[in-house]
Amino acid sequence: MTGNRTFTMIKPDAVENGHIGAILEKITAAGFKIVAMKYTQLSLRDAKAFYAVHSERPFFGELVEFMTRGPIVAAILEKDNAVEDFRALIGATNPAEAAEGTIRKLFAASIGENAVHGSDSDENAAIEGSFHFAGREVY
């Protein structure tokens, strides 16, 4: 059985470029319901913890620097088959390889600065959602 929630962030590049509204429009038009949302900025400690799984990767320093350089929008989204459907909506990690019409194809510039995050499993969706939101902030 697949879960019905995923976690997303609109990353600093997309916020800086004024794409919050357009990205939220794509998300809701695709049938996702926003059940939690906040405008916030990751601290260095937050970003290192959130991306701990990538800590040995060569791009880790760059990733942490990017993700902390400005505000983000964090949200929990609800829809049947949420994780898989949201990954399809955002497209490949590298926008150059992302399908036409996907959020990364439309709004991202590079593999590092790729506009949005989407959880890669139901388990990580739950962990990442809890990282950003207390139970009372989820509606």
- The residue (of 43 and 137) whose beta carbon lies closer to ligand GDP is 43
136: tokens are: 């009372």
Q: Look up residue 118 and give its two tokens.
A: 């989407």
Q: Based on CB atoms, which residue is closest to ligand GDP, 87 or 139? A: 87
Contacts of 63 (CB under 8 A, 6+ apart): 47, 51, 54, 57, 112
Select 35 or 111, whichever has its Cβ closest to ligand GDP: 111
Residue nearest to ligand GDP (CB): 112
Please name every residue paired with 118 in a beta bridge, in sequence order, or none if there are none: 8
What letter would DSSP give residue 120? S
Query: Catalytic residue among 19, 54, 117, 132, which?
Result: 117
Q: Where are the alpha helices (DSSP H) in the chain?
A: 12-16, 20-29, 44-50, 60-68, 82-90, 103-107, 122-132
Q: Which residues bind ligand GDP (CB under 6 A)?
A: 59, 62-63, 93, 111-112, 114, 117, 120
Q: Is 117 a catalytic residue?
A: yes
Task: Name the residue nearer to ligand GDP (CB basis): 40 or 94.
Answer: 94
- Shortest reach from residue 135's CB to ligand GDP, in Å: 25
Catalytic residues: 117
